[in-house]
Amino acid sequence: MIKLAITTGEPAGIGPELSAQLPFEQLFHQYPDLHLTLIGDQAWLEQQAKVPLTTFEQRLSIHHVPLTEAATHGQLNTKNAQYVLDTLTHAAKGCMNDVYQGMVTAPVQKSVINDAGIPFSGHTEFLEELTGAKKVVMMLATQGLKVALVTTHLPLRDVADSITPSLLTEIIHVTHQDLQGYFGIENPHIYVCGLNPHAGEGGHLGMEEIEIIEPTLHQLRSEGIQLTGPLPADTLFTDKYLKHADAVLAMYHDQGLPVLKYKGFGNAANITLGLPIIRTSVDHGTALDLAGKGIADQGSLLTAIDYGYKMAAARAKRQRA
Ligand SMILES: NC(=O)c1ccc[n+]([C@@H]2O[C@H](COP(=O)([O-])OP(=O)(O)OC[C@H]3O[C@@H](n4cnc5c(N)ncnc54)[C@H](O)[C@@H]3O)[C@@H](O)[C@H]2O)c1
Ligand SMILES: N[C@H](C(=O)O)[C@H](O)COP(=O)(O)O
């Protein structure tokens, strides 16, 4: 059995309804050994389900984490911030203890957690700390494109200073290793974006390519890692390069993710590489404007479940070998 935990996310957003309204019958048919546990407030989830969740009791459980205050669609409440983190902690610890073979996260509202006085950048950073991982990488994947990021939830002002040879080396090592381990790519070819326009224009538009990125890639190539770049990011995302790329490494969030989401929004998943556990997520946020209306698209949650299931199956196969 592959047991996946689904954290149902910000209670005022679309996460609870997307999770409770999953096409369970179809999913359990498609993945005959899949078991799902929805993690969140039981009454809030049952209220949003279309069929009684007990219908699938052999394959579907709810792990009840009580809301602090009743939730209302579209209305954030700082009192429920800790609830959201409790669902994540339960799932992550369950994965570390092999109760679950992976966790799939519905969206959380980062701002309300911070407004509650709890510093929180995102699941990626939260899980890195909770699991004690040395370095994690945010990678979003859709059919035909995987984009990994060197920096994640960082103000643009701080990005350039944070790109160092050691960070770049760690990020590339983790990406390379997990593309091999979870995606069965024997010798991944990673295409790397420059940081500056035109990859620095020979030093006239920034020195990071010459001083940091090129020497680091040169060093890593000597270890046998296939790397192309740094290439100008505006033309890297074209077929000429993408047809040879197993993944693209972007230097910052909005260099890589708009391209990925333009190609695959609704059919993409966010995957945290480098964790000791498997974690996949949706490609969208809490969409407070849609919450409770029953019109939010389920595609990305299904994609995240698919990646989570396949990664867990790949790891189980590796462990048996
Ligand atoms: N995995 C996550 O936890 C995650 C991912 C992205 C954003 N967020 C958080 O979500 C909050 C809101 O972020 P945002 O407004 O930038 O992005 P958003 O994805 O919530 O909304 C952007 C636009 O996409 C639409 N949209 C989103 N999901 C949709 C779906 N399933 N079906 C149809 N339309 C959908 C929304 O209606 C909106 O127009 C922020 O706090 C952000 O940090 C969380
Ligand atoms: N950067 C993600 C995106 O834009 O889709 C999103 O904020 C989620 O990040 P976490 O998985 O770290 O919460």
161-179 pLDDT per residue, tens: 999 999 999 999 999 999 9
Among residues 253, 306, 252, 302, the alpha carbon closest in space to that of 278 is found at: 306
> Measured between alpha carbons, how far is 290 from 288 in angstroms, rounded to an integer?
5
Compute the distance from residue 150 Cα to the ligand 1 centre, in Å.
22
Tell whether the model's pLDDT for residue 289 goes beyond 90.
yes
Q: For a pocket test of ligand 2, which of 123, 262, 273, 303 has the largest count of ligand atoms closer than 8 A to its C-beta?
A: 123
Q: Work out which ligand 1 atom sits closest to the CA atom of 283.
A: 5
Mean pLDDT calculated for residue range 83-106: 98
Record the pTM.
Answer: 0.97
Mean pLDDT calculated for residue range 21-30: 96
ipTM exceeds 0.90:
yes
- What sections of 198-298 are H helices per DSSP? 208, 214-221, 233-236, 239-242, 253-264
Residue 261 annotated as binding site? yes
Among residues 4, 33, 3, 318, the alpha carbon closest in space to that of 178 is found at: 318
Tell whether the model's pLDDT for residue 51 goes beyond 90.
no
pLDDT band at 259 (very low <50, low <70, confident <90, very high): very high
Mean pLDDT calculated for residue range 203-210: 98
Mean pLDDT calculated for residue range 81-89: 98
Tell whether the model's pLDDT for residue 50 goes beyond 90.
no
Mean pLDDT calculated for residue range 142-169: 97
Q: State the DSSP string of 145-177.
A: EEEEESS-S--HHHHHHH--HHHHHHHHHHHHH
| Residue bearing the bigger pLDDT, 58 or 19 | 19
Ligand closest to 113 (CA) is 1
Among residues 142, 135, 144, 315, the alpha carbon closest in space to that of 246 is found at: 144
What pLDDT does residue 134 have? Answer: 97
One-letter amino acid of 89 = T
Provide the 10 A C-beta neighbour count for residue 317: 10
Atom 3 of ligand 2 has which residue's CA nearest to it?
283
Looking at the chain, the whole-number percentage of residues with pLDDT higher than 70 is: 100
In whole numbers, what is the pLDDT of the chain averaged over residues?
97
Tell whether the model's pLDDT for residue 55 goes beyond 90.
no
